[in-house]
Structure 1
Amino acid sequence: MRELPAIVVAPVDASLREAVMRLRVHPAQQDFVGIISNLLAEADNSRSSEPMAVLHGATPIGFYCIETRSRSIVGRDFGPTALGLRAFFIDADWQGRGWGAQAMTAILADLATRHPAARRLVLTVNCSNHAALTLYRRCGFEDSGELYHGGRAGPQHLLLRALPG
């Protein structure tokens, strides 16, 4: 049996940008994530945002941003060793196959390499986005018990995950 390519992550550079721009989510998910062109434009305009592609082999199947200033996640600081995770999604055509969990494993491995001093990953997830909440909990995120009310689609859980180090 042929082994499938591993899921890896890489910064969105000129060689990936066009393919990343074609990524999309289901319409019902757009309020949770946003539109890829807007996400890339926001990242381009922020020195603390690192746009990243989730790759299956050489094919982009997902996207996320690492925020080197965790304050950008909910407007408060989580310390100098905290990073933020924003806009994580798997393309609509690739959803439902377990790629999200594999992508999260690749994200955490990448953070250990590119941000070895980081000790915490912070994110928010919409309260009605049950699939994402389940994924994040399976991947070791803990609910802080706080809700963030600044999201465009309603209240969000604030989730935290310790990073090894």
Structure 2
Amino acid sequence: MHNEPDIRVAPVEAALRQAVLGLRIHEAQRDFVGPIADLLADAESCDGSEPMAILCGDTPIGYYRIETQARCLVGRDFVRPTLGLRAFFIDHRWQGRGFGALALAAIFGDLAVRHPTARDLALTVNSRNAVGLALYRRAGFVDTGELYHGGRSGPQHLLVRALPV
């Protein structure tokens, strides 16, 4: 019998912060995700941002940020109550094991509990990030056909997924 790893998510609070600061990405991913120290500092300085850790057991293996105002992703409002997902990544030492898909499933479950009135989750993914785009599509995100051109590394696809109710 196959045992799936215990993948869960938790807010980056004081007890997790130092371990989260040790997370790294592959050099080739730098165009898509900035350094974790910058990501945390930005999230902690923005109202409505929730810095989150992806955990395998009690070990941080990744990071993401939830935006309670999805407008900040693409500069426009959404029809339904929508959250934003930003800066999602799995540490380079943990990549290639299916943890990205498991982490997204954990995120959906967490959002249903912590943000029960939200109906959708939106994100942008760089048009050159084929791996990320494939992961998000497998997780049920739909490409809206809209490109966001405000990113530092070129155009990004806007993807949206309905959240469980």
Q: Report the TM-score range of the alignment, normalised by the length of the smaller protein.
A: over 0.9
How far, CA to CA, are the matches of 1:95 and 1:11 in structure 2? Answer: 21
1:160 is aligned to 160
Q: Which runs of 5+ in 2 are unaligned?
A: none
- Are positions 1:90 and 2:96 aligned together? no
**1:164 positional shift:** 2.4
- Are positions 1:45 and 2:45 aligned together? yes
Secondary structure at the counterpart of residue 144 of structure 2: strand
1:59 is aligned to 59
Q: Deviations over 1:84-118 (max 9, x none)?
A: 00000000010011000000000000000000000
Instruction: Describe the shift of the 1:53–1:29 C-alpha distance in structure 2 as closer, same or farther (beyond 3 A).
Output: same
2:8 is aligned to 8
Q: What letter is aligned with 1:65?
A: R
1:132 is aligned to 132
Which stretch of the first structure deviates more once superposed, 62-71 or 26-35? 26-35
| Alignment root-mean-square deviation, CA | 1.3
1:108 is aligned to 108
TM-score, normalised via structure 1 length: 0.96
Number of matched pairs: 165
TM-score, normalised via structure 2 length: 0.96
1:146 is aligned to 146
**1:80 positional shift:** 6.2
Percent sequence identity is: 64
Q: Which runs of 5+ in 1 are unaligned?
A: none
Q: What letter is aligned with 2:75?
A: G
Secondary structure at the counterpart of residue 146 of structure 2: strand
**1:82 positional shift:** 0.5
Q: What letter is aligned with 2:144?
A: S
Residues 127, 154 of structure 2: 8 Å contact kept: yes
**1:30 positional shift:** 1.2
Secondary structure at the counterpart of residue 161 of structure 1: strand
Q: What letter is aligned with 1:129?
A: N
